[in-house]
Structure 1
């Protein structure tokens, strides 16, 4: 099936379902869409399916953004029910973030594969250092900025998130904690940002990969009905059921942990992912 031995495909399906469960758990726990977990797992899936290197990474990222949609929705409403989401920040970022996602999707159409990994390493590494070694004195200001500065932050978060295949959790958590917001509020608000990023990002990657699929007619993973552009429907179908089920569990854990414990866990998680992508660039 799809040129993969049945035994190998069966283990791959099991692995994807398990990774989906972890993705949902992390989405709720850290306010991220789970792309940091989904992207490397999907990368291995598409390697098995014979997807060429030049289109493999954007296919992973586009699929990751699609997976983030239901996960972010479930996580956001769970956090909002606890009154932890800052809706003022989300309303200010709505248009700039979407604009950034659109720009990032256009960049993705022409960018080399390593660009996505390098962006991931820089952002994840910065976030990990801040969480593991920083303290409350590591602040830019005591509250978030207003006006055009806030809009610029939104555009940058949108661009980088669309190039990383994430829901913006790493970036918005970093931003909000640098501006004096508590980690629990940053995590909760980030889950809402995932909605603003994942929906336009998914549509953008569908468009960006549509013409590329035509260039690789023999690659089944890029062709409909297995994929639409840079969004794999196979990966989507395997991830979504378990991510939706486990996201609320992560939310419960997030609200039961202390500030220091949550920051330490998130920092270690980001550092491990950062090292994984750095190795793939250098080796």
Structure 2
């Protein structure tokens, strides 16, 4: 039913997204969503269905992938589990709501939202490329945790990402986290938010999705193949994250995010 190139594409997505997940603490959704979307359109899936499958399946994949990266980070760093869980509790609620909202939006609207947010993150990181750590501008308390966790969680469900790509920018810019601390905390956070998000896509796509071998908007074939490669590669990426200087991590992070942003906005072919 599917061409061989489709399966090869899924394997490559798992390899690249898994390594990026562990290296950058972002769950890999910023790669999994657009790459799945382009691949699904390549085999003839309608754009509106393709984007929802990409979003829902991405969140399902992020759960085991981020767990693999988080485990490696917690073995190397202390003090990341508690803030990650605190943010994640509010993130679960936000991601579930975001998933329901996304099912009613056109694919092009989601592409533009996704691209603009990624473009902001990329520019912010390029501007701050030489900063090792910024002063905290707001305190890390229940109010800030609730607001940040919910909003990042909402973006997670809406855009099919773990939310780490946005959380890292917020933790480093506003809460005074170093990049490696933010990456570790984010890896814990996205395990929780992704879970709430993918459940909402399963529910909203139940009886609606026409894609073969899927539960709602979650493709079982995509999930199985990508996860098989993303989970071990996430652990490897997390190991590398603790060996690279923060400036090099920021450069890698910024280049990858900028490319995906321009691709989603249609600026790059």
* Greater C-alpha radius of gyration: 1
Determine the C-alpha separation between the residues in 2 that align with 1:276 and 1:82: 35
Which residue does the alignment assign to 2:260? 273
Mapped pair 1:123 → 2:117: yes
Compute the displacement of 1:144 (Å): 4.0
State the distance in 2 between where 1:133 and 1:96 align. Answer: 30
1:114-156 per-position Cα deviation (integer Å, ceiling 9, x unaligned):
2321221222111111111125499573564323232111110
Q: CA RMSD in A?
A: 2.1
The aligned residue for residue 33 of structure 1 is 27
Gaps of 5+ in 1: 214-218
2:177 to 168, 178, 181: 181
Contact 1:93 1:150 in 2 (8 A): yes
Count of matched residue positions in the alignment of Structure 1 and Structure 2: 267
Structure 1 partner of 2:99: 105
Residues 84, 266 of structure 1: alpha-carbon distance in 2 compared, 3 angstrom cutoff: farther
Q: Identify the residue that residue 242 of structure 1 maps to in structure 2.
A: 229
Q: Which residue of 2 aligns with 1:216?
A: none
Q: What is the alpha-carbon distance in structure 2 between the residues aligned to residue 169 and residue 45 of structure 1? A: 24
Corresponding residue of 2:196? 200
Corresponding position: 1:151 with 2:151: no
- Deviation per residue, 1:43-72 (Å, 9 max, x gap): 133224432222221111101111111101
The alpha-carbon deviation at position 15 of structure 1 amounts to 2.1
Indicate conservation of the 8 Å contact 2:61/2:223, yes or no. yes
- Determine helix, strand or coil for the equivalent of 1:279: coil
Match of 2:240 among 239, 248, 253: 253
TM-score, normalised via structure 2 length? 0.92
